[in-house]
Amino acid sequence: MLNGTQTWSRTGAIVLIVFACMISAKIMITKVDYVSNADYLTMKVQVHNETEGSTVDVDGNLYMDVSQGVFVNIDLDSKMDGQYMTMIGTSKELCSTDDVGMDPVVPLLNEELEKFGNLTFNCPFQKGYYRIRRFRMSDDHMLVKMVPPGQYIVKMDLQHQQPNATDKNPVFKLSFYFEIS
């Protein structure tokens, strides 16, 4: 039986594989839906579909410092028999120190993100401007090669829970629709 950290690591690795693949040269992003909470940030996402594949630009302006209570939900849906079905889902508190050093996904993703801008998944999050330009993974990256052809959606939902609060405030929702061929 897997403990919570092992479950997150395995699920997180799979989600990273899909995230990495959706921006490789073999991947074409067909649609992006996103909404952000104006109390927290403004966000703009732009996809560039070029002959070698899709790249992504993200611009965000965070209006407050956040050092705790940041939760992310990530789902990977695959199209089967004409309908999207959730294959993998995970939830994690990004600022938690409970499993520091145990999650291989965030460091790998941060390493790639740093090549294209100043966005990171490391806490604390300081108010200010964040951006990524032409984000993509190379075709020969081992994670890219592991995802089978098909149609997918990666959905990410970020929420923040203020200290001493019982509810979580939505920060942003983001959905990438893409095809792997």
Q: Which residues pair with 107 in a beta bridge?
A: none
Whole-model pTM: value is 0.75
Range in 6-10, 97-101, 109-113 the model is least confident about: 6-10
pLDDT digit string, tens, across residues 35-51: 999 999 999 999 998 87
Between residues 19 and 88, which one has the greater pLDDT?
88
Q: What is the pLDDT of residue 92?
A: 79
Rounding to the nearest 10 degrees, give the CA dihedral for residues 86, 50, 107, 115. -160
Q: What is the pLDDT averaged over residues 139-148?
A: 60
Q: How far apart are CA 22 and CA 62, in angstroms?
A: 25
CATH 1.10.10 fits 24-180, yes or no: no
**Predicted local confidence at residue 33, as pLDDT:** 93
Surface-to-core class of residue 79, CB atoms within 10 Å of its CB (0-12 exposed, 13-18 middle, 19+ buried): middle
Q: Locate the domains of the chain by residue range.
A: 24-180
| % of the chain with per-residue pLDDT over 70 | 72
